[in-house]
Amino acid sequence: MKSEYFYNKLDELFRSGSIQEAENYIIRTMEQVQKENDLPALISLANELGGVFRVTGRLEEAQKVYHVALETIRLLKLEGTEQHGTTLMNLASVHSEGKQASKALDLYEQAAEIFTKKGLAQDYRMAALYNNLSHVYDLLGKADQALHCAEKSLAAVKTLSGQEVELATTYSTLAVRYLNLQEEAKAEEALKEAERIFISLPGKSNVHYAATLNAFGDLRFRQQRYADAVSFFEKALNIITENYGKKSSYAEVSQKNLEKARNLLLQKKASPDVSGLREQNHSLNMRMTGLGLSEAYFDEIGRAMIREQFFQYEKYMAVGLVGEGSECFGFDDEFSESHDFGPGFCIWLPDDIYRAVGAEIQEAYNRLPKTYRNQSRVTTAEGGGRLGVFSINDYYKKYIGAGDIPKDPVEWLFMPETSLATVTNGKVFVDHWGEFSRIRSGLLNFYPQDTLLKKLAARIAMMSQAGQYNYERCMKRGETAAAYLSCGEFIKNTISAVYLLNGSYMPFYKWMFRGMDKLEHLKEIKPMLEQLAAMPDIPQNTTTKADLIESVCMKVRDELKRQGLIFGNDAFLNNHCRDLMSRIEDPRIKGLPVMFDGK
């Protein structure tokens, strides 16, 4: 038998979904090798045919053909070989499908012993073995052991390259185990990862993707989101029937799941929406955040639109809520709901896909319901264009002036902090293609060291000039307006320095103070700055405010020392600028004036 030719042809038939043609091709080849008395080839072909019988629900036929393979292995004295282990594992899978858990477990353990002796602990077959053992323990009602095996399978397959399908399948198995333990959040996380991998694969949908879709359907069914469950079960059934036919055992299971979900969906539509009333009453007592509203709107409404109308482009999409608006920073409250707030999300596409179908997807997005969970979006002229469909590069260019991660410290220097905060806030719900998140992750890695040092030098120089030097002098001259501006400059530059020392981008002025609550270092400065801002600039407050400014500066100095950026104890911050500038290596930045900052 010409092995390479045979397997190339077989793979082609499987990819095209021609399961019957694949079966006929294997049988014809088996007849040929039997005539040629090519027994080693017969073992391989029997394993392939057994797999076809298994997935099409013909378990007795599968058992018979695997026993043919085992008998041939015995005749050739190949017991204890990798081929023997693989055949035992395949036969065990048939018993597992037939709910004969004890027989399956015995065969799997024999296969595991062979693989271990052969030094295949990190081989894909061991990953598959753990995955299958997980199924057996699930049949035996041993949920914890089933989860343990699924986790071991995932750990094993993660060490292998080029095993995307196996990795996605293992995530699906893990999700089912989590579901059995009522851990729905972990199950959803695993399923989203499996879905991301399957969607990124080239060509038509992989047949194993159906298991992920079925598990998603089960999750939504448990959550009583029957419309979503129906959608998932339908897609799973379509993939299964396309590959294995309507009469396969997999198709029968999916069909039953689909009918059950449809029946309950019809019952829900026919009965009073008591759950909706409960949800409405609950919402009166517990407000949903804008980010939570956006993600729920996408999960319940947007995702279905994408899958029903643009399934072939889903693999290229990133979806989330990032950008302008208090909800993107997690700062929204009931006052935020007056305008530019409500259901909606962003879809980011690679440039070529955006040019091809961006307008069409935007039209479909525009047709989505405008009201969701009693929230309707009122869009102002200033708030338009925040949601909908975008080119990835154009989206980043809009805010930071570049469509990708800056290439050197000088480029970073000229990107505004507040704009970087805008494009790295919020949440990316899914990113199948990964390009949007690649850029986002690069930006979240924060400034290069030379850029950070330059910005810190500029900040403490301005803190020193505006606060430590000019504020008190202005007050002594009776220049209260100038003193007011000096205090404002001091506060603004101090807040920026605090964000920089926390490795975080400062949001625009409205949320500068609010965002400090999330920072790890120098949080104690916030109430001190609030006190400074609240105190009138009148003569009797001059000493108090000047002392407060000094206290703030010393705290910043101490944090700079703690991080190893300066070494002196001078209370006057301007005297530490030289230390910071001397550490800069890039001559283009090192030669800039201390107070220069591209912002």
CA distance 519 to 506: 11
* DSSP secondary structure letter of residue 159: T
Beta bridge partner(s), residue 318: 348, 431
Which tokens go with 393?
Answer: 């590069």
The side-by-side arrangement of strands in the sheet containing 318-321 is: 388-391, 346-349, 318-321, 427-431
Q: Contact, 291 vs 327, CB < 8 A?
A: yes
CA distance 496 to 506: 6
Q: Contact, 464 vs 573, CB < 8 A?
A: yes
CA distance 483 to 472: 7
Which tokens go with 71?
Answer: 């008998």
- Using CA atoms, how far residue 199 sits from 205, 305, 316, 319, 348, in Å, is 7, 16, 8, 14, 16
Q: Contact, 130 vs 153, CB < 8 A?
A: yes
Angle at which helices 101-117 and 82-97 cross, to 10°: 160
Class of the domain covering 449-590: mainly alpha
Which tokens go with 368?
Answer: 């989505």
The CATH fold assigned to 204-271 is 1.25.40
| Backbone φ and ψ of 475, nearest 5° | -65, -40
Q: Domain residues of the chain, as ranges?
A: 3-203, 204-271, 289-444, 449-590
CA distance 520 to 526: 12
Angle (nearest 5°) at CA 71 between 68 and 73: 110
Give 90-107 as a DSSP string: HHHHHHHHTT-HHHHHHH
Q: Are both 3-203 and 449-590 of the same fold? A: no
CA distance 531 to 400: 33
Measured from the Cβ of residue 322, the count of other Cβ atoms closer than 10 Å reads: 23
Which tokens go with 35?
Answer: 């005539």
CA distance 457 to 589: 11
| β-strands 375-376, 371-372 pairing | antiparallel
- Using CA atoms, how far residue 425 sits from 291, 512, 517, in Å, is 11, 14, 15
CATH of 3-203, one of 3.20.20.110, 3.30.70.420, 1.25.40.10, 1.10.10.10: 1.25.40.10
**For residue 430, what is the enclosing H or E element?**
strand 427-431
244-274 burial code (b ≥16 CB/10 A, e <16): beeebbbbebbbebbebbbeebeebeeeeee
Calculate the CA 303 to chain-centre distance: 15
CA nearest to 454, candidates 270, 303, 583: 583
The pLDDT profile of the chain, 599 residues, written as one tens digit per residue, is: 677 888 788 878 776 667 788 888 889 988 888 888 889 889 989 988 988 888 788 889 999 999 999 999 999 999 999 889 889 988 988 888 888 888 888 898 898 889 888 888 777 788 888 888 888 888 888 889 999 989 988 988 888 888 888 899 999 999 999 998 989 999 999 999 999 898 888 766 788 899 999 999 999 989 888 888 888 888 888 888 877 777 666 778 888 888 888 888 777 656 544 344 334 433 334 568 889 999 999 998 999 999 889 988 998 999 999 999 899 998 888 887 777 788 999 999 999 999 999 999 999 999 999 888 888 877 777 777 899 999 999 999 999 999 999 999 999 999 989 999 999 999 999 988 889 999 999 999 999 999 999 999 999 999 999 999 999 999 999 999 999 999 999 999 999 999 999 999 999 999 999 999 999 999 999 999 999 999 999 999 999 999 999 999 999 999 999 999 998 899 999 999 999 999 999 999 999 999 998 76
Q: Count of residues for the chain? A: 599
Angle (nearest 5°) at CA 169 between 12 and 126: 95
| β-strands 318-321, 427-431 pairing | antiparallel
HSE (CB half, 13 Å, CA atoms) of 486? 23
Burial class (CB in 10 A: 0-12, 13-18, 19+), 3: exposed
